Amino acid sequence: MHNTRYTLIFTLILTIVSATILSLLFFGTKDRADLAAKIFEKRAILSSVNTLLDKDVSKMTDQEVLDVFNNQVQEEAVDTKGNQIEQSQILAAGYKGGLPEDIDMAKERKKPEDQRMYPVYVFDNKGEKVYILSIRGNGLWDEIWGNVAVKNDFNTIVGASFDHKGETPGLGAEIKDNPAFSAKFRGKELYNDQGNYISVQVVKGGVKDPPHQIDAISGATITSNGVSEMMFRGIKEYEAYFNKQKG
């Protein structure tokens, strides 16, 4: 039998060895992991304008994603009154890096409305501007979020992509997993003929108003309602920005 002192020394050495290995590996891979996380986000943003790209986003290499983003996308940050937000303000809000892409929508949602800031990704589609907006809401279990690309008439949706934290696989998770769901948003309109904002609703049991409604996912009512709510409220918060851009 080993005595207590031996046990202590053995445990100590083991702990130090494993902590050293892990910290070396962690700090060695940190930059790469951070870059990978950014590319993952950028892929999601670009997949909302997938139809306008030369190559399918899911088939692009990491470098291609970064290239498209650097060459064709301009980032802006705006507040709910539609004013541009400077880098210094983003830094002051606690986002390291200070770029609009560093803004954490989950944190912004918890702030009072007049203090929120939102990123806008202006995508250059061969000279024509497409505005990609970030929205966030609640699904059945947890948060859901998405990127919606709007034409420069600030009415027609070019495409959308969604993601979620913990929706049920096969039901709510279809908003992300089933490309047919986000494809339904293409060509939908935010404003009706009278110019009133109504956004796009996800409805059960048949679409009655085709420019503003899409079919719900069967078996995922709460997630579908969450998407409707997010599409309405999330895009509405960009309305002031739309009006400023329209002049």
**Tokens at 12, concatenated:** 């100590």
Of the candidates 182, 167, 171, the one whose C-alpha atom is nearest the C-alpha of residue 44 is 182
Alpha-carbon span 213 to 228, nearest angstrom: 9
Of the candidates 130, 176, 135, 182, the one whose C-alpha atom is nearest the C-alpha of residue 156 is 130
Q: Work out how close the CB of 158 gets to other proteins at its nearest, in angstroms, rounded to a whole number.
A: 19
Smaller CB separation from other proteins, 8 or 74: 8
Smaller CB separation from other proteins, 150 or 230: 230
Q: Work out how close the CB of 159 gets to other proteins at its nearest, in angstroms, rounded to a whole number.
A: 17
Instruction: Strands of the chain (E only): list them.
Output: 73-79, 117-125, 128-138, 143-150, 157-164, 201-203, 213-215
Alpha-carbon span 46 to 148, nearest angstrom: 10
**Tokens at 76, concatenated:** 């802006």
Smaller CB separation from other proteins, 169 or 205: 169
Q: Work out how close the CB of 160 gets to other proteins at its nearest, in angstroms, rounded to a whole number.
A: 19
Q: Work out how close the CB of 137 gets to other proteins at its nearest, in angstroms, rounded to a whole number.
A: 13
Q: What does the binding site for other proteins look like in residue numbers (CB under 8 A)?
A: 1-2, 6-7, 10-11, 14-15, 18-19, 21-23, 25-26, 29, 32-33, 36-37, 39-40, 140-142, 165-166, 168-171, 177, 219, 222
Q: Work out how close the CB of 22 gets to other proteins at its nearest, in angstroms, rounded to a whole number.
A: 5
Smaller CB separation from other proteins, 79 or 163: 163
Neighbours of 110 (CB within 10 A): 8
Smaller CB separation from other proteins, 29 or 115: 29
Pair 85, 117: CB distance under 8 Å: yes
